[in-house]
Amino acid sequence: MYKSLIVLIIFAGLLFGQKTPFQIETLYNLKGVSDPRISPDGKRIAFVVTKYNLAEGSSNSEIYLMKADGSDLKQMTSHDGADYHPRWSANGSKL
């Protein structure tokens, strides 16, 4: 019984653990995260997320905001033009 279990585990690992070749579509499905900016009070983080479109050969960037603990994610911009470089006002009341 013990040997059968080991053979089954090895076979399952070979069957389901196979690697797939890298494809360019996989890379285009990844989103880029850049330019993180922490609010002056340290409670929020603004950052840029870039999405890529392989079929169109294009990309678009939008600004997002979340709490420093990772909760309450909000997309702050949404249009065809790219948005970059989020910056906080000195007192942190405006982005």
Instruction: Tell me the per-residue pLDDT of 16-69, one tens digit each, with 9 for 90 and over.
Output: 666 777 788 888 888 999 999 999 999 999 999 999 988 888 999 999 999 999
**pLDDT attached to residue 21:** 79
**pLDDT attached to residue 16:** 61
**SS3 of 66, please?**
strand
End-to-end CA separation in angstroms for the chain:
64
Distance of alpha carbon 61 from alpha carbon 51, whole angstroms: 6
For residue range 64-90, what is the model confidence (pLDDT) as tens digits?
999 999 999 999 999 888 899 999 999
33 neighbors 47 (Cβ within 8 angstroms): yes
